[in-house]
Structure 1
Amino acid sequence: MATGWAGDGAVQDQIDATVKDAIERARSQLRSGPGLTRCEECDAPIPEARRVAVPGVRLCVDCQAQQDEDRAATGYNRRGSKDSQLR
């Protein structure tokens, strides 16, 4: 394919760089550190295994599941047809 002055792999290199930047940005937003010993929502104890597995954890499993469920219920139909998204 004729791309002017760009090398053969220039487009793929740009895509790879964009993906790498997105991954680094996402990782920089992750919490770190020991986390809390008690849930900041319901004050339930957070097990040591969870604190080790999820650095910077602030919620117990139940509260985290509820928060994830609330975020998932945004009303945006990702699997539906285009018409269903326009309603």
Structure 2
Amino acid sequence: MRFEDLLHHVKHLNTEAAEVYFTDLLGILGHESLPTDWRERVRIGADPAQSGTFRDNLSGITMDFPKELPDLQKQIVDYAVPGLRKILGYV
């Protein structure tokens, strides 16, 4: 799963391609079909204003989060899980 693909289908929920994508994605978890209100559930779940982990909603943290991992952290990820960043599309 690539973040960019997920984001694309979240932004295009009313397409057949999005339905296929989410059916395949959740099918891995054993769900044979999507609930009738799946689009609304995805819309709510993707809304940053309702997210407890969206960077702008975090409180009590005094550090600025980078938009991208620093080179050293990229190297650590590459060492710990070789190929992961490439699989996820972050080369």
Shorter-normalised TM-score: what interval? under 0.3
TM-score (norm 1): 0.26
TM-score (norm 2): 0.25
Higher relative contact order (CA 8 A, sep 6+): 2
Select the structure of larger CA radius of gyration.
1
In terms of fraction of residues, the more helix-rich structure is: 2
